[in-house]
Amino acid sequence: MKAGVRSKRGIILSITLLAALIVPGCTQNKTVKVGIDPNDRPFTFVDGGEKKGFEVDLWQALAKKSKLTYELVPIEMGEMSKALKDGNIDVAIAGKTVLNAKSNDLEYSDPYLKTNLVMLAAAENATMKGKEDLAQKIVATENGSTGFYYASAIPGVKIHSFSNITDAYNELVSHTADAVIVDERNAQDYIKNAGQGKVKIVGDPFNKDNLAIVAKKKNKHLGKISEALQSVSKDGTYEELYTKWFGGKPTMMPSKIKKEMEYDQQHEA
């Protein structure tokens, strides 16, 4: 009897240990849902059903390094933060700027790009010369974007916000808006393509920001993603992807962007 009892206990113990080993493995292989903006060229966009862009290619490289199984989920920018907080997506790589993590429910990976905003006006507009001319004007922008929040803080400005930036550009071209505030690289892409000869950048770039992958607090993937970002920066992958989508070599690598961001955060008033 005692031997039988010991045998049964041994079997139960073995099953328990096996289950303990299997469950973590299953958790690690769980598909990570990744939010992307479907209309933010050249960062992320959907063309003929295919997901493309700098951030798409960068994520694929990071996921490969981190051994993550993932699904890219197109979501309008204005709904991205809510989708994260509601658990509909796990992370987002969608032109999201690093904010003060203490002031919201989100946290960020190491930054992967330094960027800034620009202001666009109609090509024939001779009166709009920069953001100082925006008082009492109509500004079109993408809801939930950095441009939206920047424009919303300008006294006297009327905001026309849209779920995608294309509608904001259309407002400008049709003269129902006086300006568009948007990320510089997105503006340059539009000017080279659909907006050629129709719009122009006025004034100097402003509001420099750092882009990072964002998730809810205590996300288990961000640490590995940040490590992977430094790895692809060192092996040449980052430079290759940057050159592919932006037409030239990066002026600043992620490691330096991180150091500058940390310095700025430490010296904030």
Q: What is the pLDDT of residue 269?
A: 52
First to last CA, the chain: 75
Residues 6+ apart with CB under 8 A from 24: none
Q: What is the pLDDT of residue 150?
A: 93
Q: What is the pLDDT of residue 262?
A: 87
Q: What is the pLDDT of residue 96?
A: 85
Q: What is the pLDDT of residue 127?
A: 93
Q: What is the pLDDT of residue 81?
A: 87
- pLDDT tens digits in sequence order for the chain, 269 residues long: 444 544 555 444 444 444 444 434 334 568 999 999 999 999 999 999 999 999 999 999 999 999 999 999 999 988 998 999 999 999 999 988 887 544 567 899 999 999 999 999 999 999 999 989 998 999 999 998 999 999 999 999 999 999 989 999 999 999 999 999 999 999 999 999 999 999 999 999 999 889 999 998 889 999 999 999 999 999 999 999 999 999 999 999 999 999 998 888 787 65
3-class secondary structure per residue, the chain: CHHHHHHHHHHHHHHHHHHHHHHHHHHHCCCEEEEECCEECCCEEEECCEEECHHHHHHHHHHHHHCCCEEEEECCHHHHHHHHHCCCCCEECCCCECCCHHHCCEEECCCCEEEEEEEEEECCCCCCCCHHHCCCCEEEEECCCHHHHHHHCCCCCEEEEECCHHHHHHHHHCCCCCEEEEEHHHHHHHHHCCCCCCEEEEEEEEEEEEECCEEECCCCCHHHHHHHHHHHHHCCHHHHHHHHHHCCCCCCCHHHHHHHHHHHHHCCC
